[in-house]
Structure 1
Amino acid sequence: MKKPFWSIPALFLFVNLFGNSSFGQQVTPAAESAKGVYQYRQAAYDGIGKTYMGREISQVMGHLGAAWLERPEREQEERTDLLLEAINLKPTDVVADVGAGTGYFTFLMAPNVPKGKVLAVDIEQAMINDLNQTKKKTGFKNVEPVLGTITDPKLPANGVDMAIMIDAYHEFSHPREMMTHIVRALKPGGRVVLVEYRAEDPNVPIKPHHKMSVAQATKEMKAVGLSLKSVYRKLPQQHVLIFQK
């Protein structure tokens, strides 16, 4: 079986090149440590030295990695068709794609919510520019790019049926703040979907801090009032974790 091109050592090079270009890890360690939410230590080679609930937050990928997000082989490597099946969108759903990047999955979801919309959230203006360009090219009027911040995705309160984060949550420099805002944005019965590379599987060729286990994700979502409802395991290397209030 052919390994994806980001396997060792390609991903090492990729994250080292682009790992500090996005989620703006300007932090105030003393203040955050005093609150007891985050702690700090010597950074691992693929981490930022900031920990949350025992997990070191990973380095991040920004606009310089846009070509990787849009690679032609992504559909087959990640089986995005199965991911669409797993999240079971309704035509009227309002979906927040948090950490949307170039909008690769945003524009796959858009046709499935013709009476709803996709809020494509990113914190980089360059990504928002890409999203707007693709929206113009594709003609999807139900896609709305949203410029968020490292602590707030800028979503409408009680206005979202589903918030999905695809290989993004583990990179959030302020996960507690981000998730608190996301939970507030959920409608009654709304869902949070995390798509993450499986930390439980040593054969998944991704750097350790860019993976998440079901147990760790469940613990972190519980801290903001969410409980695990289901786990979809049919993707080649990722699991799809679905949470609700």
Structure 2
Amino acid sequence: MPRAALTILLIVFTCWSCGSSDSKTKEKQEPIIKLKEGPKPVSIADQLEPKIEDIERTEWQNPDYILDYLGDLSGKTVADVGAGAGYFAFKLARTAEKVIALDIDPKALEYIESQKEIVGDWSSNIEARLTPPDVPNLLSDEVDLVLIVNTYSYIPNKETYFPRLLEGLKPGGKLIIVDFKIEDIPVGPANEFKTAPKEVRSALRKANFKRIDINEDNLKYQYIISAEKR
């Protein structure tokens, strides 16, 4: 083979080898498994957004009607029995002088305190107070109004609880109970865990509450019972 032809072949082979090596190097540098994108960072605005509203609950609970039913709360102290995460406590705090959020779960009360820090000074009138299941934990004549929503059936020893609750109300004070109708409805517990309005009225009479009224017409899934201390 002529020397010139041999030289050309060597140059071509060398170039092909270099290209093949670079290609393999690039292949090795590519990751075998591509990582999925992680969660997007949460903005400061999202972190500071209070979680005191439950949109799904609001659709069936109709809290605006219940608040209107309570009347003017200006200058009044209200006890929210079974306050939970503060769904009603924060709504009451906008007009009441003071709200006592009563619950048996310390974590629920810690949550209320955390939300108070987020929403600001307007909720500083909420006192989160831990209470035993069968004791209202109110001082004598401490409150003008007691609100019990979706909680009545879970209160043990009602024959002792409600006379004590009566003591915590000021003369002329009111008790409002909102609970689920014993019907086939899409919200609330099973019917076996509900209490009929007439049974509630009987318990309140035994506890010496007066002017007991049952309203079963204005809420779709619930009844309202009002009673007074005389």
Instruction: Give the structure-1-normalised TM-score.
Output: 0.66
- Asked if 2 retains the 8 angstrom alpha-carbon contact of 1:150 and 1:178, the reply is no
Q: In the alignment, is residue 219 of structure 1 matched against residue 174 of structure 2?
A: no
Match of 1:158 in 2: 141
Which structure has the highest helix share of the two?
2
Residue 222 (structure 2) aligns with: 238
Matched, 1:136 2:120: no
Look up the match of 1:145. 128
Q: Is the 8 A contact 1:98 1:164 kept in 2?
A: yes
Count of matched residue pairs:
173
| Letter of the 1:128 counterpart | L
Residue in structure 2 matched with residue 167 of structure 1 by the alignment = 150
| Pairwise CA distance, 1:209 | 3.0
Per-residue CA deviation, residues 15-48 of structure 1 (Å, 9 max, x unaligned), is xxxxxxxxxxxxxxxxxxxxxxxxxxxxxxxxxx
> Which string of whole-angstrom CA distances, capped at 9 and with x for unpartnered residues, describes residues 159-183 of structure 1?
1111111010110122223212211
State the partner residue of 1:126: 107
SS of match in other structure, 1:149: coil
Distance 1:171 1:110, change over 3 A: same
Question: What runs of 5+ residues in structure 1 fail to find an aligned partner?
Answer: 1-68
- Give the secondary structure class of the aligned counterpart of 2:198: helix
1:83 paired to 2:77: no
How far is 1:188 from its partner? Answer: 0.5
Q: How far is 1:70 from its partner? A: 5.8
Q: Which runs of 5+ in 2 are unaligned?
A: 1-51
Instruction: Judge conservation of contact 1:195–1:239 (CA < 8 Å) in 2.
Output: yes
C-alpha separation in 2, matches of 1:214 and 1:137: 38
Match of 1:73, SS? helix
Q: Which has the higher strand share?
A: 1
> Which of 93, 107, 122 is the aligned partner of 2:76?
93
Mapping of 1:47-58 within 5 angstroms?
A: none
More relative contact order, 1 or 2 (CA 8 Å, 6+ apart): 1
**Amino acid across the alignment from 1:129:** E
**Which amino acid is 2:104 matched to?**
I
Q: Secondary structure at the match of 1:90?
A: coil
Structure 1 residue 223: Cα displacement: 1.2
1:105 and 1:152 map into 2 onto residues whose CA distance is: 20
Deviation larger for 207-216 or 155-164: 207-216
Cα distance, 1:74–1:226 mapped onto 2, change above 3 Å: same
Letter in 1 for 2:219: L
- Kindly provide the CA deviation profile for residues 136-158 of structure 1, in whole angstroms up to 9, marking residues without a partner as x: 21221110011111221211210
Q: Give the secondary-structure state (helix, strand or coil) at the position aligned to 1:212.
A: coil
